[in-house]
Amino acid sequence: MSKKNLDKTTSNEDWMSILSPEEFRVLRMKGTEMPGTGAYNKFNEAGVYNCAGCGAPLFTSEQKFDSGCGWPAFFDEVPNSIDREVDSSMGAVRTEILCKKCGGHLGHEFKGEGFPNPTDIRHCVNSAALKFKKKDE
């Protein structure tokens, strides 16, 4: 199955045949990586961060910043790439962010934390939900 054909209607059986076990746990089961363990937490190359599930562009390296939270952080997203839902798990109300194309769980969005970025927003994203593509590729 081609990544361009993957979307919100793709079955979990198909996702399991395409994704690694960790990607499936994060993207489809709404899992979370341990802080500081993700490949893109301290990663700083120029390019685009795509959804590890469907390949849709989600974030750019220009939007990434070091929040010190232990996960890759972005202050903005590629336009029309993210859906938001209320997440009341874990004893708190948070904003979950999902890939608009395939519905994959990316992480959470936090506002008003005082980070010195243009939006004062932090998209806290699991590295397993992302695949990086260098700018020149």
Report the catalytic residues.
124
Helix (H) or strand (E) holding 64: strand 64-65
Largest CA distance in the chain: 43
Question: CB atoms < 10 A from the CB of 131, how many?
Answer: 18
Task: Identify the DSSP state of 128.
Answer: G
**C-beta of residue 64 within 8 angstroms of C-beta of residue 48:** no
Distances (CA, A) of 56 to 22, 88, 102: 19, 27, 9
